[in-house]
């Protein structure tokens, strides 16, 4: 077999390994530099398999060819049915749901691993072996490349406008995400959000489904600190992650894991030892009675909105970085509820100020850097409140990525005496 790999990041490298494992005697690597690719006819006629990385737009490149494949498809072939696959997708929360679900399964004694878009290639863990359940996070780009893949269940956390530089419309983005249901087995299971527009796109799906109510006044039902799913319930006071939006993430995770575990009664022990992912509403420490929360992963307005909805009143909210053409006015209502002060920093500070002008009843100040914003936040935050970094912007004005930004936030808090 002669094969090609287009794009050579983590997914591309895993695809190369999988192709060689499948018997390819020649694997040609094409990195996305200066668009130096062979012609479409050469890809179609010169190779048995062409593995495309998710970052490459197959429509724009004209790569709708029969021999097209992907790392996810190749890993599925290599798995050969020896394990269950749970797919997690959505705009926000999918990584946290992936991670929480894998922990819940592991705590129940099942050999599970979180993989895919969360950072560890699916192919890498399949070839490593020793796993019974693959909790697989997929982006819309990865879903586009699915062909023969079949999952045992899929969860879609939510959808909001995203990647509109790649999709012609929000409707096209919704369809790309919802298409994941086409790749769930006939006897499979789906966990879906109670959103009318999304459910309209899921009408063709005839398998078992659970609908998660975002307000948590149906399934599940949140009464005080008790989250009730009918057959099972838990005390949310013992769930360690910050924010009510993480309770929603927990609901998706438990409903997904329940498709394998069949929970009964009080399952609080399943939740109290769970850990969140770094830079997603991560506790950074407390200084002089003020707690610091690192939500650096919130690189768009909708992620920040989810964080704000999960916060109580009286916080200092830090926004900023490099603007991604976000509509910051969408944050106004939640900022007025959750914030005593909003601090905008970096390149986007001026834009944020303009977009929120006349909309806020809380205090608003700007800062040249994130470090200064943190120090200002400590000075103005009421004792017992939080200073929350939830930028709604990319990190590229000052940092290489959101991880670096979040690590610097954690470091500054520590330098200020955070414990």
Structure tokens at 12: 């591309």
> Does residue 281 contact residue 293 with C-beta atoms inside 8 Å?
yes
206/152 Cα distance (integer angstroms): 14
Provide the H-helix boundaries in 129-162.
140-144
What does the alpha-carbon distance between residue 321 and residue 142 come to, in Å, rounded to a whole number? 28
Q: HEC string of 342-398?
A: EEEECCCHHHHHHHHCCCCCCEEEEECCHHHHHHHHHHHCCCCCEEEECCCCECCCC
Residue 90 marked as a ligand binder: yes
Q: Is 95 annotated as a binding residue?
A: yes
Q: Confirm or deny that 140 is annotated as ligand binding.
A: no
Residue 93 annotated as binding site: yes
Structure tokens at 353: 């100020």
Between CA 143 and CA 223 the distance in angstroms is: 37
* 94 is annotated as contributing to ligand binding: yes
Q: Is 69 annotated as a binding residue?
A: no
Q: What is the DSSP letter of 322?
A: B
DSSP state of 150: -
Alpha carbons 330 and 233: distance in angstroms, whole number: 34
Q: Binding site for ATP: what residues are annotated?
A: 90-96
Q: Binding site: what residues are annotated?
A: 90-96
């Amino acid at each position: 077999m002669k094969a090609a790999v287009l794009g050579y990041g983590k997914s591309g490298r895993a695809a190369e390994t999988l192709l060689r494992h499948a018997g390819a005697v020649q694997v040609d690597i094409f990195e996305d530099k200066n668009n130096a690719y062979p012609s479409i006819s050469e890809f179609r006629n010169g190779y048995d398999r062409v593995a495309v990385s998710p970052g490459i737009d197959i429509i724009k490149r004209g790569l709708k060819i029969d021999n097209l494949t992907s790392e996810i498809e190749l890993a599925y072939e290599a798995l050969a049915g020896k394990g269950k696959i749970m797919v997690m997708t959505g705009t926000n929360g999918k990584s946290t749901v992936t991670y929480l679900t894998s922990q819940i399964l592991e705590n129940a004694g099942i050999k599970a691993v979180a993989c895919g878009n969360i950072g560890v290639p699916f192919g890498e863990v399949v070839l490593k072996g020793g796993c019974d359940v693959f909790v697989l996070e997929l982006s819309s780009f990865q879903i586009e490349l699915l062909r023969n893949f079949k999952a045992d269940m899929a969860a879609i956390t939510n959808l909001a406008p995203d990647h509109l530089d790649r999709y012609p419309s929000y409707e096209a983005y919704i369809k790309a995400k919802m298409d994941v249901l086409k790749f769930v087995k006939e006897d499979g299971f789906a966990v879906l959000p109670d959103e009318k527009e999304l459910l309209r796109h899921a009408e063709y799906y005839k398998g078992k489904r659970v609908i998660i109510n975002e307000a948590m006044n149906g399934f599940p039902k949140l009464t005080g600190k008790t989250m009730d799913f009918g057959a099972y319930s838990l005390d949310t006071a013992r769930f360690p992650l910050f924010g009510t939006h993480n309770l929603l993430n927990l609901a998706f995770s438990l409903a997904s894991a329940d498709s394998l575990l069949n929970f009964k009664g009080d399952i609080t022990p399943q939740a109290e030892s769970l850990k969140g992912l770094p830079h997603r509403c991560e506790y950074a420490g407390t200084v002089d009675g003020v707690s610091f929360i690192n939500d650096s992963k919130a690189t768009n307005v909708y992620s920040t909105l989810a964080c704000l909805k999960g916060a109580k009143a009286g916080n200092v909210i830090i926004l900023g970085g490099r603007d991604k053409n976000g509509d910051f006015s969408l944050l106004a209502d939640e900022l007025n509820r959750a914030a005593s002060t909003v601090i905008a920093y970096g390149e986007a500070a001026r834009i944020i100020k303009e977009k929120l002008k006349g909309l806020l009843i809380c205090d608003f100040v700007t800062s040249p850097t994130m470090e200064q914003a943190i120090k200002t936040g400590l000075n103005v935050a009421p004792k017992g409140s939080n200073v929350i970094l939830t930028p709604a912007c990319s990190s590229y004005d000052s940092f290489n990525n959101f991880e670096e930004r979040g690590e610097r936030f954690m470091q500054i808090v520590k330098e200020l005496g955070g414990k």
